[in-house]
Structure 1
Amino acid sequence: MRKWLLALPLVFLAAAACLPAGQAGAQIRVSTPQDKFLTFDEVVMLRGRVAPAAKLTIENIPFKAAPDGAFAVGLVLKPGKNLVLIRAGEEEKRLRVLRLITYPDVETAYEGKKHWARGQIVYLATLGVIEGYPDGSFSPGNPVTRGEFATWLAKVKGLPTEKLTADVFFDVPKEHWRAPDVKAVTDAGYMAPYSKETFGLDDPISRAEAADLAVKTEGLAITSKLVPLFRDVPQEGKGAAPIYIAKEKGLVIGVSKDLPIYDPTRAISRAEAATLISRFASAQGQVARLADFETGYTGERFCGLNVAPVVVSFKANPARLTLNQTTSVKLRAEIASRESFAPISKVKVDLSAIGGVPDAEMYDDGERGDEIAGDLVYSLNISYQPKQAGEKRFEVTAVDRLGWPGQGEASLLIVE
């Protein structure tokens, strides 16, 4: 399994290199993505063609194809397994897409190579066992904290958590998002607090402590027959037994290929902790199931769908103005319903043609010149005194929460 984890780049490239060929006479032909597709992207485009006049549905949502049968839809992917179900006429096509999670500082090449723990980090992050930082990084070299390790243990072991009514420890209040995980791992006996009052949520964990936690979590017996393998871990020393048991079971290794050194007192890094957890039996099973394209792709794993916003109409009223006469102009942009897609985030109009700002915001709040809130008609009232005859054109842009834009255009005619 560990070799399979590290083979991620080869698996990904092999999968991405293939494209399915359409079959003659088929109602549905998909050009991208292929079945059993792997990607790191949150959104990929589904492109294909159906027979003319065929009734097209994607994940049971009706779609109108172009006159020639072409269609294009954005697939908004969940981490892990995603099923895409396409129907046209009597034909049904199922696409399985696996979205993997990664981080920029894990993907950045160092001396021509990706990070050594990339495979383990990618799969555990995809499974939701480990997490990055709010800024989108993983910081693999940072020490892992006791709070982080508690969360990772709780998730990889599938420990049940509960809604808390009291603080877990003085330094782990019930409101802290890691509190349920800390309670779960301490109740299970995997981790112990410093005292009845203190857990040490933000304290680092040493490599010796990590080995001890791994042995406890995996339920490994401590034996008296230990083979001393590391120069810096005396056989009779405190904490030596868990290190050597963990080494024997393949859970930990030394820090050097050339020297038998374990470095027990150094804080274990987030990358090392992720690698350690990836060797747990429960993690191995979860990764194997994640990699299996033959199971788990059900209707519960439908991905989200998205299309660019459609500006149904964009009008200026009045559309005809008199030169040098100040007039109040009502701009109205109607946006097509987004019931099954990402909602509209902003609608802006470019007023540069009449000397205004290029990104004036329009509103659908029942205020600020808008008549009815939530009717998908966005409004902006402007006062304009034209100084030159001719046509003035405006472009409106509707943007959804995924950042997808849709445009429309209106014009004013200036007469003398």
Structure 2
Amino acid sequence: MKKRSFKLLTGLLVMLFIFNLFNLVSFSQEQSTPIFSDLPQNHWAYNAVKFMVERGIITGYPDGTFRPDNPVTRAEFARIMVIALNLPFKVTDNPSFKDVPRDHWAYPYVETAKYFLTGFRTSSGDYFKPSDYAVREDMAVALVKAKGLQNENVDVNILNNYIDREQISKNLTKYVAIAIAKGIMVGSPVPNSNQLKFEPQGILTRAQAAMLLYNVISTQSNEEKVTYDDSSSTGTNQQYNYAAPNVSGYTKGDKVVLVWNKINDRRLKGYAIVVSKNNSQPVYPQDGYLKILGNKDATYIEIGVNSKYNGGDVGAYIKSGEEYYFGVTAIYEGNVYVKGNAVRLKVPVIPDYYEKPSVKYEYKDNKFLLSWQKIDDSRLVGYRVVISKKNKKPKYPESGYLVFINDRSTTQMVIDNTIPYKGGDFGEYLKDGEEYYFSVTAQYQDRLVAGNSVKAEFYSNLEIKALRPKLQAKTIKYFGNWYINLKWDKINNEKLQGYKVVVSDKNSAPDYNKDGIVAIITDKNITSINIRAKDKYFLNGEYKELKKGQYYYFTVYAVYTDKIVGGNVIREKIP
């Protein structure tokens, strides 16, 4: 019995020793291995996730993974946000949302975070949609409010730089604009373009949620952990091991030249060239950008007078004789932006410098509004509003003009098809639903200076857009015969009487008065038609046949009691 007890005790001691040894080994390895098996230390969100995990704000899965690319639901983000920001719980006896009752696991978090997050209002009450995935535009609202920036004044035109601006929910536009202006959320560069993509409806991942909230926490805290070495640098760029550009500059002829070191980092996506009139340390995106360089090997750029600028305090263009701070921001994966130093340089003076208009457009009060900046120059006589259907860079006099404005303080014009165009390539009037190039030419005493052009779909009144048929076409095989299927969206309007399907073999904008009529449809529920070779169309008082193998232009006109509205045009080959 004693021997058996001794053996048992010895066995327990050995097991205890092995257990302690295992813990010691695990502890020593913990210092050099990632916190999760699927989140390497060079992952763009690693430090943010580590920070959040160490404070119990976010956790991994039982199998030792973090699953950084997994989507986050709205309820999950509410919980993470409340814990991360240490928000005091605010709950009431009456739940704010129909779909988050008191017995829902996320109830206290949703109620507490509702002041920061979005909801969905309906005639039957408010809904939170806790199981829906969190999207980027919702996070813009949350983070802007978390930082107390919701009452900041912001120019929503900053969103003009984003190709998916129209996807932003109308009520959230200001919050997204603030988030971008303050550098909280930015988006990603569009390859081979100066524009960006915000992805407002993009689903938030666990890694992104950790990074976004980490950025809020780290900027709210006055405490910073630092290390001391022989370097005199006090910046924070190196805390995540991201290299910053080292910028130098000089003038060459009529240009400013910036040069910086090449950064060898696989996470690097490119560079933003940043300029500021007043900020001695300009950084992208807060101070806008001159150009986004997608070439990671770029280390040099020449900047000339009249270079177009986007955002910031520079204005529309770099001006002759002005002094600016020039900098370069390195753009890394995961929306990490690391600014380099800035150099102050004077743009070379160019004799006879003439400012050109910076043109933009918007629909305001359902009207097409063209606008440009005010040019303060005693030599300025006025402005010519110029439009073209084919010329991507229209200017006066080559492309004609709509009006001449001799009031130099006028910087905008509503284009509503009430004034005939003079000398253009599209006739006297614009057509609703058609795309055109719009520009403004500044007329000086001794020269004409054309501004940039903007391509836009024109509507004299935006309400017409909802009345316009949206045509699609595809080739189908039906009972052994090949057809072109023309299909358009159903229009629900009490004034709608029917549709006219129009065809032309030469006119790229078929006219229902001048070109062939394939069909007249009086049943408002019919929204498609099949056509094939030898089908008839009526033109100039006689019937003609569609020819096999020939291309035709097709469109659909919606006929209303008070107007006829044409749809888009499709060119198809008869099978």
Q: Into which bin does the TM-score normalised by the smaller protein fall?
A: 0.3 to 0.5
TM-score (norm 2): 0.30
Query: Per chain length, whose mean CA-contact separation is higher, i.e. which structure has more relative contact order (CA < 8 Å, sep 6+)?
Result: 1
TM-score (norm 1): 0.40
